[in-house]
Structure 1
């Protein structure tokens, strides 16, 4: 089956690119991907699969390919939402939806998986098991689509789940992997500080909310530097401080919003505990009242070490001219809601390098000039196809 699959994928390289370009021209934001979901569902019409739409809290789609023999069940996931970014990439298939762009590669994820799934459907009689294709909505905006798909119960029978991400971290043909904690988890924080306003000449008669807020901004960084081990990863970013007032008036209240990142669940718990403790201290120290909203979003993404080692070995054994190098990548600072699948099932989320040809300093994901070498799409299809075939052979 493996050799047949690789030949089929090679013959459909241009189709994968064509699908990617169509999706790139027609991006839709998270939870608003109605037309994209319809395009995906239409792709499977008339094919010998079980198709479930509107899965989870949005436009999620699950396609079940039942093989000719009983066996293990594999999940393959690709996301399909875009970002609120005005595209600046100089490509002939630029976004037609002004202010919305596929700046993270989800168009490529969907394109490769559609064609790979179609090839697997044609080979289904040779498949000793079941494959569930998960086309996931809303990866970019919490609460995301993954958690609701996991909670739907429709993929409870998975033995493993695989996913990939296009990253401009090397030339096309490079596949990366990382075992253990691989993407940061994140939390959202909003802090409203209610003080007592007053005249700028008489601060002793007021409780200055700006001073309390400024203290929190600075003091919060000591959570990272003094409460975490030097070997742990944690970030607290205060991205918004809304305290605009008048120059000679002591501000009555301020609102802050922050982004918290962490690489392990233990670090997550430590940061949350310390933030809440610090807020209580500010209330006491400055005589203000604080209203804290602290919402954990995506958990850290944990790649099963044994499964990741299997993926790396499987890809190295392929000896395919399109897959030139398989190497370890570093852990990633961003977050990824694939982490919800990895919390429930043995999982491996690996990376397909896609730096455009001739570019030494590529624009990274989420940049308005983000672009890929489209040769990486066939690499993605072959790499995931190889992993699927190898897993069924175990």
Structure 2
């Protein structure tokens, strides 16, 4: 079987049998099976996390990472390889990440005599579910004796055959907050005897949105989004409690800390004004992802040779979060985006959508960029 066919077939297998974060048992078994068939000796370093080494000439080692988990999404695509696990879907393209890394491994093994060093393959669980799988992988030795690391993410906003390169900051701090407002319940006909948690929560959401628009320097990217609100019992009952959750995205510790404090200040103001009580928990998530510029330029040089300079993009930093950031806190490396969109083929949905899909004809190219970039970094 040709490598391009192998990558597509492998990707479709992973797509059919997706598994949620920290539960990727059959996925890990399949990865080990494929690596052993290539003559490698995969090592399970966490319950579902795998590393495997390709030995070349020299002491330096470049790691290539692929994440392996799926999302709790019910797939709506009408394709032969549709998810067989109801309510679970590879809606973020991690199926392609695994397949492209396995394809790159095959190509690297074929060129092993040209390797001026070693390649570490990292198949990481649970990128989608904080605290993520990267920290545990690092703790159990994924980066031991590794000098550099690279990775790619397939993206629905980017045209197939395009690569997006970021020299420094690429993805944001990705935090979460939980707030519970405690008012005083009562009959809907007598609001004067109650403290309406829903009414106060509406004020709270409006005030949270003014933190970014009126208190953060517009030159500093920041986002506050309320994702859920749960409150109330019945149409004629004033709610005593309301719970909301949301996310904060920033690129600097200064802005992050200011927002944490200002949410608390807003809640204190509502307490003073309306007599509520509240609970507030702020959870810092994945840190900002900062690439090593030299490694990013090495990847860009390889991508230009394969795709042409006209297919290389340099977007503004993305407000999404990625636990690849933890690897970059330990060793030099870089992350980049690889295009999935092909409007002519009807492939035009964003990541995390129930209709997300990719242009499979580009997966061989993605694997080739991984392989050539790793070899280029070793040679330099």
Instruction: Please name the residue that 1:41 is paired with.
Output: 32
What is residue 349 of structure 2 aligned with on the other side? 363
Distance 1:389 1:324, change over 3 A: farther
Aligned partner of 1:343 in structure 2 is: 329
Q: Is the 8 A contact 1:49 1:121 kept in 2?
A: no
**Which whole-Å CA distance do the structure 2 matches of 1:361 and 1:47 have between them?**
32
Higher mean alpha-carbon deviation, 303-312 vs 157-166, is at 303-312
> How many residue pairs align between the two structures?
380
RMSD (CA atoms): 2.3
Aligned to 1:6: none
**TM-score (normalised: structure 2):** 0.92
1:273 equivalent to 2:261? Answer yes
CA contact (8 A) 1:352 1:379 kept: no
Report the CA distance between 1:78 and its aligned residue. 0.5
Corresponding position of 1:305:
293
Distance in 1 (CA, whole Å) between partners of 2:236 and 2:343 is: 57
Indicate how the Cα distance of structure 1 residues 246 and 172 shifts in structure 2: closer, same or farther if over 3 A, else same. Answer: closer
**1:190-201 to 2 correspondence within 5 Å?**
190-201=178-189
2:348 counterpart SS class: coil
Provide the rounded CA distance (Å) in 1 between the counterparts of 2:27 and 2:359.
22
Superposed displacement of residue 207, structure 1: 2.9
CA distance in 1, matches of 2:371, 2:210: 46
Distance (whole Å) between structure 1 residues aligned to residue 290 and residue 274 of structure 2: 41
Deviation at 1:168, TM superposition (A): 3.1
In structure 1, distance between residues paired with 2:367 and 2:19: 23
Cα gap change, 1:90 to 1:114, in 2 (>3 Å): same
1:188 and 2:176 are equivalent in the alignment: yes
| 2:338 is aligned with 1:352 | yes
Give the superposition deviation at 1:216.
1.1
Residue number in structure 1 paired with 2:212: 224
CA distance in 2, matches of 1:190, 1:321: 44
Give deviations 1:103-148, integer Å, cap 9, x for gaps: 1111111011012113323443442222211101111111111122
Partner residue of 2:361?
Answer: 375
How far apart are residue 16 of structure 1 and its match? 0.8
Structure 2: tracts of 5 or more residues without a match: none
- After TM superposition, the score normalised by the length of structure 1 is 0.89
Select which of 78, 97, 100 maps to 1:112.
Answer: 100
Q: Distance in 2 between matches of 1:68 and 1:305?
A: 26
